[in-house]
Structure 1
Amino acid sequence: MNLWFYALLVFLGGCSYGVVSTFVKLGYAAGFGVNALTGSQYLLGALLLWILASFVPKSPLRKKNWAVLLLSGTPMGLTGIFYNYALSYINASFAIILLLQFTWVSMILQYVFDKKAPTSKQLVAAAIIMIGSLLASGVAESTIAFSGLGILFGLLAAVSFSFFIFFSGRTSISIHPIRKSAIMTTGAALLIFIVMPPTFMVEELVSTHLWMYGLLMGLFGSLLPPILFNTGMPKVGGNIGAILSASELPTAVFMSTFVLHESVASIQWMGVILILVGIAFPSLKRKERYEVRL
């Protein structure tokens, strides 16, 4: 199957994460807290994945493999926790810049663990994406609230997301991507329930509209990205995958404009265009045609 197909899957995985921020904002506006929204997202996301997993072929797994996949999902849960805490200390426009640092952090991980250095095109693409991120985040249009803890949590979110991308492309256990995603998301949910005890489940999830926000966040934040990354990332590689995943920010800008009706300045749209150019840059003027066999 053509490599472009797998690249598209990773790109859509990043877009899916970009959609989540809109539902988080809507959830906050409805009066729900961080614990309730984060916990319901991963709980319902895991349940949806296990429902889908019941329809796919089941390969036997050893206890060791279960443990590896559960642990591989913890970076996903850590990303949600760190990023939500970062948002409580700093502006969202600054937090998204910190999260986007995963593009170059992922390249460092590839070099440290796999001795795979990024190409010159990949380095240029990462630089273009960083410049575009600064513009698209709206830093020039807003007052940034600096906080040591906020910066720390934002950078930790970038590091944990980099590890999630790294494990998505590295875990070689022979298992269907949907079932693999279900186990990894379960690991993320277990971690979140330890850090953020699910006290919301008894009252809010049943008696309020929390289930609706959790379902939407679970679909776009906990169901689609793991499936898309687990399918596409092993084929495209971690460095290219990190660049493609940067589609999260332009998607968030589009959603905030057309769903939340937030004002987006011209300079932010310029940033979105730069990010898209950075994502496409490694594939420009490529003469070879790559085919990936299943």
Structure 2
Amino acid sequence: MKNLKYTVMVLIGGAMYGTMSSVVKLFHLRGYNAAELSFSQALLAAIFLGMCLLLSRGKESLGLSRNELMPLLVTGGAIGLTNFLYYQSVSYISASLAIVLLMQFTWFSILLEWAVFRKRPSVLELLTVFFILVGTVMAGNLFDAEISSFSWTGVMLALGSSFTYAVYIVANSRVGKNVDWLPKSTLIMAGSALAIFTVNAETIITDNHFGYEFLLIAVFLAVVGTTIPTALFAAGIPKIGAGISSILMTVELPVAVLCASIVLKEHTSPVQLAGILIMLAAIAAMNYYKSLKTRKAKQVCSI
């Protein structure tokens, strides 16, 4: 029962992330742009987490060295750019296609670790990449005769967000390992806001819609899209393990497609559904195998 509680936490966090593409698409239709939406989300999330940090620690030191501070801010910059590019992509393409392309972070992460850290992918990982690509072609409806109507700008933005998401995941797994989740999350969100502002300073300052409605939207995005999922993941992932959590977090994909179908009335064909299932199965199988491998390695070390 205890593990079930933490499993549900991770599932809810992933589902919350899955609703964001449809929600942001709706806000785009109301005239808001990706720069102001992603910046306000990151800034308010940093403020909320910072307030929690101050309340929990008071005047106590964060215990961070200068060598830990900058890598965490840069890591935050990667997730900030991910949100900006992703939010920008849904103004060009459907929310369901955007989430399918974002899920390419799985194999981008494998390639990054190979290129940067010389960690060669296993046969299973290469097979996973193959099935993800097959699933992407199907789920993205790339066999459709209307292919020319696709916005390749939107596709490239979504793929760019997938790449920066992979950078974030790889960096996040290697920096700040000894830092508590709350100061780590606060610094990552601060770095996220800083990166988005640096790239879009002129748009944020001059072309904005700041007002009461926008404030409500920003608070909603910060709480539902960042703060609550971060807290749920921080509480649940350490209890059930990264491998199982990675499998559970793939719930983001079907939730995003379902949400786009209900909220935005986007049509999803049987071929697209089959592609999504292939992608989910490939990602889940790879993460399950990795979790078993890690568990066996720990058992060997404890003997």
Q: Give me the TM-score of the superposition, normalised by structure 2.
A: 0.75
CA–CA distance in 2 between the matches of 1:65 and 1:117?
A: 27
Which of 96, 114, 118 is 1:115 aligned to? 118
Structure 1 counterpart of 2:252: 248
Change over 3 Å in CA distance of 1:39–1:259 after alignment to 2: same
Bigger radius of gyration, 1 or 2?
A: 2
| Secondary structure of the structure 1 residue equivalent to 2:63 | coil
SS of residue paired to 2:295: coil
Matched, 1:135 2:135: no
Q: Match of 1:46, as an amino acid?
A: A
> Which residue does 2:21 correspond to in 1?
21
- Deviation of 1:158 after TM superposition, in Å, equals 1.9
Partner of 2:54: 54
- State which drifts further: 26-35 or 222-231: 222-231
Once the two structures are superposed, residues 145-188 of structure 1 have per-residue CA deviations (whole angstroms, 9 ceiling, x without a partner) of 45665554333222211110111111144221122011101101
Instruction: State how far apart, in whole Å, the 1-side matches of 2:8 and 2:122 are.
Output: 20
| Letter paired with 2:200 | M
| Aligned mates of 2:291, 2:82 — CA distance in 1 | 34
Structure 1 window deviating more from structure 2 (211-220 vs 105-114): it is: 211-220
Residue identity in the other structure for 1:168: N
- Measured after TM superposition, the shift of residue 110 of structure 1 is 1.9
> What's the counterpart of residue 221 of structure 2?
217
* 2:99 equivalent to 1:81: no
Deviation at 1:241, TM superposition (A): 7.9
Q: Given the alignment of the two structures, is residue 275 of structure 1 paired with residue 279 of structure 2, yes or no?
A: yes
Which has the larger displacement, 146-155 or 125-134? 146-155
For residue 31 of structure 1, report the CA deviation from its aligned partner. Answer: 2.6
Pair 272,97 (structure 1): closer, same or farther in 2 beyond 3 Å: closer
CA RMSD of aligned residues (A): 3.9
Measure the CA separation in 2 of the matches of 1:3 and 1:273: 26
Distance 1:216 1:130, change over 3 A: farther
**Contact 1:73/1:164 (CA < 8 Å) preserved in 2?**
yes
Q: Identical aligned pairs, as a percentage?
A: 29
Q: More helix by proportion, 1 or 2? A: 2
Would you say 1:185 and 2:161 are equivalent positions? Answer: no
The alpha-carbon distance between structure 1 residues 34 and 223, as it changes in their structure 2 partners (threshold 3 A), is same
Partner of 1:100: 103
- 168-177 vs 111-120, which deviates more? 111-120
Shift of 1:243: 7.1
After TM superposition, the score normalised by the length of structure 1 is: 0.77
Distance in 2, matches of 1:225 and 1:92, equals 20
Secondary structure of 2:266 counterpart: coil
1:128 Cα deviation (Å)?
Answer: 2.6
**For residues 273 and 289 of structure 1, what CA distance do their matches in structure 2 show?**
26
Change (3 A) 1:276 1:11: farther
* 2: CA distance, partners of 1:188 / 1:80: 9
CA–CA distance in structure 1, aligned partners of residues 145 and 64 of structure 2: 51
Distance 2:168 2:94 in 1: 24
**Which residue, 102, 125, 130 being the options, matches 2:128?**
125
Q: Check whether the contact 1:165–1:242 (CA below 8 A) recurs between aligned residues.
A: no
Contact 1:103 1:243 in 2 (8 A): no
After superposing the two structures, state which structure 1 stretch, 134-143 or 123-132, moved more. 134-143
- Tell me the equivalent position of 1:38: 38
Q: Does 1:72 align with 2:78?
A: no
Q: Is the alpha carbon distance of 1:220 and 1:90 closer, same or farther for their aligned partners in structure 2, counting shifts above 3 Å?
A: same
Distance (whole Å) between structure 2 residues aligned to residue 164 and residue 114 of structure 1: 15
Tell me: CA distance 1:77–1:181, structure 2 relative to 1, closer, same or farther (3 Å).
same
CA distance in 1, matches of 2:159, 2:293: 37
What's the counterpart of residue 264 of structure 1? Answer: 268
Change (3 A) 1:67 1:289: closer
1:225 is displaced (CA, Å) by: 5.2
1:195 matches 2:199: yes
